Amino acid sequence: MVSWCVAILRRIVGKMAGGANEKPYVDVPTNAVNQKLVRDPVCGLHLAPGLALPLKQGAETLYFCSAECRDKYENGRQKLSASA
Ligand SMILES: [Zn+2]
């Protein structure tokens, strides 16, 4: 009796929270589906621009699913240019 209730709750909470401490999975709401999806260049996840973290790269804007991915991308660039 309790177990199925927990299973359903887990499914609902899991959808909202995603993983525990990994990058938060963004469940795209239906009103955002009509928007053009952008692709996270780090993990390859497709997401709505309104839910993504934008990062200006000159003329273009890159979008990331999480600060973790954005940091990864920025760190990668910094290593390439050998600064700091
Ligand atoms: Zn990502």
Residue 28's pLDDT band, with cuts at 50, 70 and 90, is: low
Structure tokens at 82: 């050998």
57 pLDDT exceeds 70?
yes
Q: What angle do CA 14, 20, 22 make, to 5 degrees?
A: 115
Rounded distance between C-alpha atoms, residue 32 and residue 82, angstroms: 38
Determine the distance separating the centroid of ligand 1 and the alpha carbon of 41, expressed in angstroms: 7
Q: Which pTM value belongs to this model? A: 0.52
Instruction: Annotate 4-47 with DSSP letters as a single string.
Output: HHHHHHHHHHHHHH-SSSSPPP----HHHHTSPPEE-TTT--EE
Task: Check residue 36 and give its pLDDT.
Answer: 84
Determine the distance separating the centroid of ligand 1 and the alpha carbon of 16, expressed in angstroms: 17
Determine the distance separating the centroid of ligand 1 and the alpha carbon of 6, expressed in angstroms: 29
Determine the distance separating the centroid of ligand 1 and the alpha carbon of 1, expressed in angstroms: 38
